[in-house]
Amino acid sequence: MERKAGNIGHDAAALVLGIETSCDETACAVLDGAGVVRAELVASQIADHAPFGGVVPEIAARAHLAALGPMVASVLRTAGVRAADVSAVAATVGPGLIGGLIIGGGFAKGMALATGADFYAINHLEAHALTARLPGLSAVPPAFPYVLLLVSGGHTALIAVEGVGRYRQLGTTLDDAAGEAFDKVAKLLGLAYPGGPALELLAAEGDAARFALPRPMLGRSGCDFSFSGLKTAVAQLVAARPAGALDREDAAAIAASFQAAVVATMADRLAHALAMMPSASGVVVAGGVAANQAIRTGLRAVAARTGHALFAPPLRLCTDNATMVAWAAIERARAGLGPDALATPCRPRWPLDMTAQSFIAGRRVSVSV
């Protein structure tokens, strides 16, 4: 089929549809070639997964399948455009839960094939990495190179963002991701799913100095993280309390102490990353855990102390969304990367830095490719 007119990298009037289905949020958005958001929509699956205390992949995939078609139709109507008007369709094809990736990626490929639009296969982590550059979020968007702190339920890493498609891992978690640690500690405290936001609210009531919890990796060389020991320390603290439900004052103090330990660790690791990358123009924090205000405050202090600006997307763009997916496609098009072949596979594991030793070592024991 002949390609339709409209280069999303150089034509402000071109339209790109973004689709995100990597975990437990179904999202779609329409942006023009200048990065202006024409419409965006997100459907959460929290109610579907809450009875199980976490995301169930099969339930997530079925929910994406049921929601995606009507949501795309709705977001196109809101934007005042037809499917035939879209110049490119961008979808997250990794990393994430394979069922959801196949549904979102397959829908995008089918739409591209039917309409003649270009297809962009987007790395979910790259979408987070570039979100802060979306026009209108700051007076002067972050310029390359910058340091990215990516913090979410499945990822915690410090990355040198040297350009679109050019990423170098400075450090990563050796065990739990930050969001995973938040959720596990929240469960220990008896908080409902999703645990991270609930723990942040509870921590606001507590005395962060009441319990002395470890600061994993604090002061060590490099930029790696570790949260497993901190989680274990909280578990031991909870186990030492009287049997039954925790007293709210105790629970709030534990939550506050845990959060303070995470903030201190992240601030220390970020300081090391900035020392390793003196050419950095600033710091970008992205991912679902970046919505935590205590973490933002701690990182902002480090950035200010070292003479760097901190860029943090608005809360709606920290959690999974399709606006960042569409914007990543525009960034890639401007850099001459893409469009991608319709045969591009979905990838449950897809790090930004394919040369990172943590990824290479993981591949030796992983059944996922």
Blockwise average pLDDT, block size 10, the chain, 369 residues: 64 96 97 97 94 93 98 98 98 97 98 98 97 94 97 92 97 94 94 92 96 93 95 94 86 97 97 96 94 95 96 94 98 96 97 72 36
* Final residue of a structural domain among 291, 312, 333: 312
53 is in an annotated binding site: no
Question: Is 55 annotated in some ligand binding site?
Answer: no
Residues 118 and 154 in one domain: no
The tokens describing 328, both together, are 């990543």
In a domain, 138, yes or no: no
Is 152 among the annotated ligand-binding positions?
yes
- The CATH number of the domain holding residue 252 is 3.30.420.40
**Residue 200 marked in a binding site:** yes
Task: State the pLDDT at residue 6.
Answer: 59
| 150 is an annotated ligand-binding site residue | yes
Same domain, 90 and 168: no
247 in a known ligand binding site: no
Q: In terms of domains, do 177 and 239 share one?
A: yes
Give yes or no for a contact between 7 and 333, defined as CB atoms under 8 angstroms apart. yes
Centroid of chain to Cα 50: 20
- In whole angstroms, what separates CA 139 from the centre of its chain? 23
Residue 135 lies in a domain: no
- Residues 294 and 292: their CA atoms lie apart, in Å, by 6
pLDDT at 188: 94
Pair (253, 344) in one structural domain:
no
Q: What is the pLDDT of residue 364?
A: 38
How many structural domains are present in the chain?
2
* Whether residues 103 and 180 fall in one domain: no
> Annotated binding residue at 124?
yes
Nearest to 104 by CA among 321, 266, 319: 321
The annotation status of 25 as a binding-site residue, yes or no, is: no
CA-CA distances (angstroms) from residue 207 to 264, 293, 321?
15, 16, 34
* Angle (deg, nearest 10), helices 228-239 and 178-188: 10
DSSP of 178-242: HHHHHHHHHHHTTPPSSHHHHHHHHHTTS-TTSS----TTTT-SSS-B--HHHHHHHHHHHHTSP
pLDDT at 3 (0 to 100): 47
Give pTM, 2 decimals. 0.92
Both 82 and 124 in one domain: the answer is yes
Residues 30 and 98 in one domain: yes
Q: Which domain holds residue 27?
A: 15-130+318-365
Q: Are residues 296 and 346 in the same domain?
A: no
Is the distance from CB of 120 to CB of 338 less than 8 angstroms? yes
Dihedral angle sign, alpha carbons of residues 336, 342, 344, 347: positive
Is 272 marked within a binding site? Answer: no
Task: Based on the fold, state whether residues 147 and 255 are members of the same structural domain.
Answer: yes
Judgement on whether residues 258 and 204 belong to the same structural domain of the protein: yes
The answer as to whether 81 is a domain residue is: yes
Q: Which long-range contacts (CB under 8 A, 24 or more apart) does 234-243 make?
A: 234/185, 234/188, 234/258, 235/188, 237/211, 237/213, 238/188, 238/189
User: Peptide bond before 194: cis, by omega within 30 degrees of 0?
Assistant: yes
Indicate whether 206 and 262 sit together in one domain: yes
- Read off the tokens for 129: 């990495």
Provide the Cα torsion 351, 356, 357, 361; round to 10°. 20
CA torsion 83-89-92-98 (nearest 10°) is 60
- Whether 152 and 292 map to the same domain: the answer is yes
> Per the annotation, does 320 bind a ligand?
yes
336 is in an annotated binding site: no
Was 183 annotated as part of a binding site?
yes
* DSSP assignments along 64-108, one per residue: HHHHHHHHHHHHHHHHT--GGG-SEEEEEEESS-HHHHHHHHHHH
pLDDT computed for residue 354 by the predictor = 83
